[in-house]
Amino acid sequence: MREIHVDEIINTVAKLCIDACHELPRTVVKAFHDAAEKETSPFGKSVLFKLIENDKIARENNVSYCHDTGLTIVYVDVGQDVHIVGGDFQDAINAGVRKGYADGFMRKSVVGDPLKRVNTNDNTPAVIHTEIVPGSTIKFTVLPKGGGSENWSTMKFLLPGEGAEGVKKFVVAAIEAAGGSACPPLTVGVGIGGSFDKVSDIAKKAITREIGDYHPEPHIAQLEKELLEEINKTGIGPQGYGGNSTAIWVAVETFACHITALPVAVNIQCHAARRQTAEI
């Protein structure tokens, strides 16, 4: 049994929060470059170049890429041979978020009560997803989730007979409804199957997948390609200025479901597709 002290968790999460908000993944920036080469709209192309420049400024000056530094989503794979010592596991994650958002001078965007709307002033509590896995390490993925894109995420129970075509229609309709409000070019996570809660969970987890890493099942990988093509035919374009770069990536995750149901969820991530991963 390997012991991991909560201080190591705090420091790891804090660094991930800062790095995620200050630096876009390289694959995302590359996707901006690739999109700019193919973009047919002059306005859309101009926006993509500004996003590339914005990333450069954020990296060079160690500042947030976007002022909306998000609700902090934390995915944690905990090895079953790990023993956490020195304090409470979830408290340590929230302490790490608190430290990261203070040390990184990031905006605090969390209200403690959704109706009273009083800011917690430290960006906690984080939304924590924990999974027990084999091994003696802990892997953290921090996903700062901006409000503008999250607000346009949605789910629906389709009839089983609607199949893949029904899924495509629903996903494209969700993107059309969001328009430029979700800050495209988007990363789109799609969940298919499971229950009401599970389908939304896998849709969000889908956006943590690396750009270009298609689903291992060929029919789902094909669906991902078709969805990206259909979304980019909407003409919404970068920041809603028109063009063929409405999305840079679509990832689909699936789960078993009841014979009477075909749940589908769409989790939209804005162009600032921020995430960082570390293992201790």
Q: What confidence score (pLDDT) does residue 82 get?
A: 96
Sites in the chain below the pLDDT cut of 50 = none
CA 129 – CA 148 distance, rounded (Å) = 22
pLDDT number for residue 1? 83
Q: Name the pTM for this structure.
A: 0.93
Question: What are residue 102's phi and psi, to 5 degrees?
Answer: -75, -50
182-237 per-position pLDDT tens digit: 999 999 999 999 999 999 999 999 999 999 999 999 999 999 999 999 999 999 99
Quickly count: other Cβ atoms within 10 Å of residue 216's Cβ: 7
How confident is the model at residue 79, as a pLDDT?
A: 97
Taking the C-alpha atoms of residue 247 and residue 237, their distance in angstroms, rounded to an integer, is 8
Specify the pLDDT at position 148: 86
All structural domains of the chain with their residue ranges: 2-20+65-145, 148-274
